Chains A and B, each alone.
Chain A
Amino acid sequence: MKRYGTLLAVDRVSMELGNEVFALLGRNGAGKSTLIKMLAGIFPPDEGLIEICGHEMRRQSLAAKREVGYLPENLNLYPRLTIDEFLHFLGGIRRIEPSRRAGAIQELLSYFELWERRHILIRACSLGMLKRVGLIGALLGPQRVVILDEPLNGLDVENIRRLRQRLQELRQQGKTILMASHILSFVEEVSDRVGIIHQGRIRAVGSVQEIKAMAGNRHLSLEEAFFKLTM
């Protein structure tokens, strides 16, 4: 549970994620980002527990955070570091051995077409480049949970395709991916389960087909089902 003054941003949310891609859907102000920030260890919950891979976030925050890669919705990265320096910094903090770190960074930079531009300052990056840097930061390392808040903003079609492929690979590797997005077609395509959050409470959790069934008709589109469940 989380309050901001009198506003109850997240209210008695209880869920368990496994090896899957889980998409969190909700209107603006529904509590998605607050929930995600609590899961990433940025805010502590006012009440309740968050456990990441067996580590309780408040008591074992260091161990819990080692298991999480996080992409915030509003990216604000060090403007006077180059892309390469920033990623090496993240790799260092996550204790990736220097010999493996360079290779992992090169692989991800090449995958998201940033290898040639790795030496430019972050302040000179376009929105799309910045988003890719943030994504690489979230994916870099051995963490078992990846949390992505609005990962598609600013990405072009090609990079959305690459991200989709990478998410599927990560799921096959046994990782857990939690993402919040408003792009329902993408959600429908990549996610195993969907959670719909409304006014801080989880209204429905299940596969896309189950969500449609909960809305009363399996032939509805996800968008129509979403509106029915959040009315």
Chain B
Amino acid sequence: MRLFWHELRTEQVLFWRNREAAFFTFFLPVIFFLIFGAIYGNDTVAGIRGASFLEAGMIGYGVASTAFAGLAITMVIRRESGVLKRIRATPLPPWTYLVAVLVSTFVTFLIEAALLIGLGRVLFHVGLPPRAFSLLGALVIGAASFAALGLGLTGFVRSAEGSSAVVNFVYLPMAIISGTFFSPNRYPGFLKAIADVLPLTYFTRLTRDVMVSHHHLWSETGSLAVVLAWGVVGLAAAIRGFRWQPRDA
């Protein structure tokens, strides 16, 4: 347990120290919330107020940027720089390390979600989500599934230099197609078809149903099932492809 807290604290320091990564994964969703909120916060999007739509969407974008993209890039860089290899030579148990990394990612994402909700309340007069436990449950499940996908993706990235290119190539289009910024209702058919299989579509739908429509988490079994199924796919890829040592060694 002591090792876990030590590593969790270390991971938080490492995250906030790396300003580029903190900006890219943490602040970008917040900035997009402010910009797009100013543009269409008072319009009606997909039958709901723009600011409410966007707040839930940016939480979706946030899970993709922190738990998926940020985690994947960080782990590839650590693998290729030999940090993971070095950690394996210490008495820190590998599982304690991985769990601490995942929990730290979740802590970051939770802070981000709280910040988005707080800003939405203050700047755009969006009500606080009444189903707090359903929301927390959705965030846990979403973060776990996207983190599994992020770890799974590391197996497909060969170099530290290529990590942000590959990850951005996957996650930015996904974020847009999944309807985090705009309602997918107005998308052309082929984009809708892609959106229909992407996990972020369902996670965003889940958060909107919980936050805006005040549904209980367990009443959204369809969305939950798709998010979890993608999580299982990610986990399988992670078990197959996650490595502690650099490519060349």
A complexed with B: no
B-side residues, CB < 8 A to A, are none
